[in-house]
Chain A
Amino acid sequence: MEQIELAKKAIAGDETALLQLLKQEESTHYRIAFSYLKNEHDSLEAIQEFTFRCFRKIHTVKQAQFLNTWLIRVLLNVCNDIQKKKSRYEFRKDVEELTFQVDSNKLELSEAISKLSPEQQQLIYLKYYCDLKNKEIAKEIHISEGTVKSRLHTALKKLRLLFNEGGQS
């Protein structure tokens, strides 16, 4: 309940409330960023940019109960941007790319997840990391429970495909 009050304040422009909220959720956010970007340096950069974008865009959030989902969506977009920037950068530095691949063995599933669309990733993180039920996800992102089911199904199918590909190579 307190969470929702904080979210309401944050949306209304209370900056301290938003900072507090981000602090509370920092482990979840950092871990998602890390699973996506695979190293501390980039994950920290992501958190900084994520904080900036949250403050800049918080006024666009319509309802307090969707704030957490919105935050994850913003975070995934930031990670996506950093990843894009990085791949351009690493294209020129193939040595680093090798080490990068070695590290990633540990997180092969999240590696596969990072290849899904941001919407699909959000769904997977909400379901399997934040432990939300389909019904709750439906409420959070404003779609019917049936749609959640079918989207999850599509996401999982794609994931399975990606996962198996990764496993074989």
Chain B
Amino acid sequence: MNDNNFDKLKEELTNITVPTEKLATLRQNGYTKYKKRQKRTRLYFKQVALIAVLAIVFVTSIRVSPAFANAVAKIPGFAPLVEMITKDKGLKDIVDNEYFEALNIVQTKNNITLTILGTIADETGIVIFYELEAPFNLSNLETKEFQLRQNGEVINGSSTSGWPYTEASKTIQGKLEVIATSKIDYSQPDFEIYLKFGDTKETSFTIPFTLTKPIQPSKVYDVNKPLEIDGQTIYVQSLTISPLRAELKLKADRQNTMQILQIDQLKVLDEKGEEWGKIQDGLVGLGGFREETNSIFIQSNYFRKPEKLTLVLDQIEALPKGEDYVEIDFLRQKVVKVPPIEDFDIKILDSNSIEVTYKPKVDHHVQLFSDVIDAKGNKFYQNSFSVYENHNGFTENAYQFDLKGAVNPVQIYFFSYPHYLKGSTQIEIPLTE
């Protein structure tokens, strides 16, 4: 092997004719594929012991009146609320009752200006609205870390951060949300936001803020009643109503032959027949039927003060026990087991992520998987979930799991799948505290 050989190599390479026109077409194809894939929303999140239930909804139409949307957009710092309100009735009440606090705290670092616009806070969690500005495009900037601290300690809970996909832009409005594992204590309402971004300088911000407006306490109603459906039993434990959300706690009977997953249609009605549905976008629940905790979030009617509520459960997802997981060997890049369900395809992407294609009969937005049990029985969690555009009725999802130290093969349990129990069921909830 000498330099002559390499001169020959160079000559060989230079002699290869370059099909310039075809290359231009294929480069364009590659770029188009990227743009299509980019039209997706992605949620990055951190699991803290509890499984966070996430849903991603593409909003195509704004269902609030333009006048109302305009009015909200004028409240300084709450423009991102408009989009949220289109998906959550409880937030409209929050705005009507002026249950929010404007902050407008500005900090600039490495040419990035972060403005904390304002918050909505209650005992269950805090939503923070913010704006980013920079002399460069921010639409692809990744939020690497987000923490909300109180008295120097991170508030335990699930958090989400980021913004929906936008075209290239130098200003971004986003939202940070923490849903606390236990009641947030507001006797000392001093907090600190820590945010780190994925720019080349890994710019981070630490912003302290204090809330001055009073926090409305949650109202707790104990129910403890069983519900029967399609031979399976579900216990309704309690309903807690707070300004940001109502939290319904459910439990499945151990004797059930089916593993209950999600409840796709769930609503509460007040005595006048007015309905509140599940929270549809972002963090829509905590835990699951396999876990100790199973909380489903419903849009709040806190400010309406209803006299009684009827709870309706419909489209209850379930898979036969033992057929409710996929088994994957990431080491050998092999799918070991897939339950016998139609139109379901799974692809291993790399050492900790998979891509799934399936065909739901109705719109299905919740993540399919959450926790992973490795060959040694240890539990691991999913840490990213994205939805790609639908085509021919198929939905394409990608999941990434935090598998540090896991022993292969691993079992990835279904958290949701559009396969339903027959029928629906309902129960009355008397609202005596």
Which residue from A19, A56, A156 sits with its C-beta under 8 Å from B37? A56
Number of residues from A at the complex interface, CB < 8 A: 41
Which residue from A30, A47, A49 sits with its C-beta under 8 Å from B16? A30
Given A12-B136, A13-B168, A30-B16, decide whether A47 and B9 contact each other with a Cβ distance below 8 A: no
Contact between chains at B16 and A163 (CB < 8 Å): no
Q: Which residues of B contact A113 (CB under 8 A)?
A: 9
Q: Which of A48-96 contact B (CB under 8 A)?
A: 48-52, 54-56, 59, 62-63
Interchain nearest-CB distance for B423 vs A (Å): 44
Q: Which residues of B contact A136 (CB under 8 A)?
A: none
Given A23-B27, A110-B12, A156-B1, decide whether A12 and B137 contact each other with a Cβ distance below 8 A: yes
Contact between chains at A59 and B16 (CB < 8 Å): no
A110 to B13, CA, bound (A): 9
**What's the count of A-B pairs with C-beta under 8 Å?**
98
Contact between chains at B30 and A48 (CB < 8 Å): yes
Q: Which residues of B contact A100 (CB under 8 A)?
A: none
Contact between chains at B1 and A51 (CB < 8 Å): no
Contact between chains at A47 and B26 (CB < 8 Å): yes
* In the complex, B31 has a CB within 8 A of chain A: yes
Contact between chains at A163 and B1 (CB < 8 Å): yes
Indicate with 1 or 0, residue by residue over A1-37, a CB within 8 angstroms of chain B CB atoms: 0000000000111110001001100110011101100
* In the complex, A106 has a CB within 8 A of chain B: yes
Q: Which residues of A contact B200 (CB under 8 A)?
A: 11, 62-63
Contact between chains at A15 and B31 (CB < 8 Å): yes
Q: Which residues of A contact B19 (CB under 8 A)?
A: 30, 40, 44
A66 to B6, CA, bound (A): 24
Contact between chains at A48 and B29 (CB < 8 Å): yes
Which residue from B16, B27, B136 sits with its C-beta under 8 Å from A35? B16
* In the complex, B198 has a CB within 8 A of chain A: yes
Interchain nearest-CB distance for A42 vs B (Å): 12
Q: Which residues of A contact B304 (CB under 8 A)?
A: none
Contact between chains at B30 and A55 (CB < 8 Å): yes
Q: Which residues of B contact A156 (CB under 8 A)?
A: 1
A128 to B9, CA, bound (A): 8
Interchain nearest-CB distance for A2 vs B (Å): 19
Given A31-B16, A128-B9, decide whether A51 and B136 contact each other with a Cβ distance below 8 A: no
Interchain nearest-CB distance for B95 vs A (Å): 34
Q: Which residues of A contact B136 (CB under 8 A)?
A: 12-13
* In the complex, B139 has a CB within 8 A of chain A: yes
A89 to B30, CA, bound (A): 23
- Grouping DSSP codes into helix (H, G, I), strand (E, B) and loop, the B interface class, with mixed when no group exceeds half, is helix
* In the complex, B332 has a CB within 8 A of chain A: no
Contact between chains at B14 and A31 (CB < 8 Å): yes
- Return the chain B residue nearest A44 by Cβ: B26
A159 to B5, CA, bound (A): 11
A159 to B3, CA, bound (A): 13
Q: Which of B84-121 contact A (CB under 8 A)?
A: none
Given A26-B27, A52-B33, decide whether A31 and B18 contact each other with a Cβ distance below 8 A: yes
Interchain nearest-CB distance for B298 vs A (Å): 37
Q: Which residues of A contact B142 (CB under 8 A)?
A: 59
Which residue from A11, A50, A59, A109 sits with its C-beta under 8 Å from B12? A109
* In the complex, B67 has a CB within 8 A of chain A: no
Q: Which residues of B contact A128 (CB under 8 A)?
A: 6, 9-10
A26 to B33, CA, bound (A): 19
Contact between chains at A30 and B23 (CB < 8 Å): yes
Interchain nearest-CB distance for B133 vs A (Å): 15
- Return the chain B residue nearest A162 by Cβ: B1
Q: Which residues of B contact A44 (CB under 8 A)?
A: 19, 22-23, 26
Q: Which residues of B contact A23 (CB under 8 A)?
A: 24, 27
* In the complex, B391 has a CB within 8 A of chain A: no
Q: Which residues of A contact B16 (CB under 8 A)?
A: 30-31, 34-35
Contact between chains at A13 and B137 (CB < 8 Å): yes
Which residue from A15, A56, A62, A110 sits with its C-beta under 8 Å from B9? A110
Residue with the highest number of chain B CB atoms closer than 10 Å, among A48, A109, A156? A48
* In the complex, B351 has a CB within 8 A of chain A: no
Given A40-B19, A56-B37, decide whether A106 and B31 contact each other with a Cβ distance below 8 A: no
Q: Which residues of B contact A62 (CB under 8 A)?
A: 200
- 26 A–B contacts from the bound complex (CB under 8 Å): A12-B136, A13-B136, A14-B137, A19-B27, A23-B24, A31-B16, A32-B13, A35-B9, A40-B19, A44-B23, A45-B26, A47-B27, A48-B26, A48-B33, A51-B27, A52-B31, A52-B33, A52-B34, A54-B30, A55-B31, A59-B140, A59-B198, A109-B5, A109-B6, A109-B8, A110-B9
- A51-B27, A129-B10 known; 6 new pairs, CB 8 Å cut-off, are A13-B140, A47-B30, A51-B34, A52-B33, A128-B6, A159-B1
The 4 lowest CB-CB distance pairs between A and B, nearest first, are: A51-B30, A55-B34, A128-B6, A48-B26
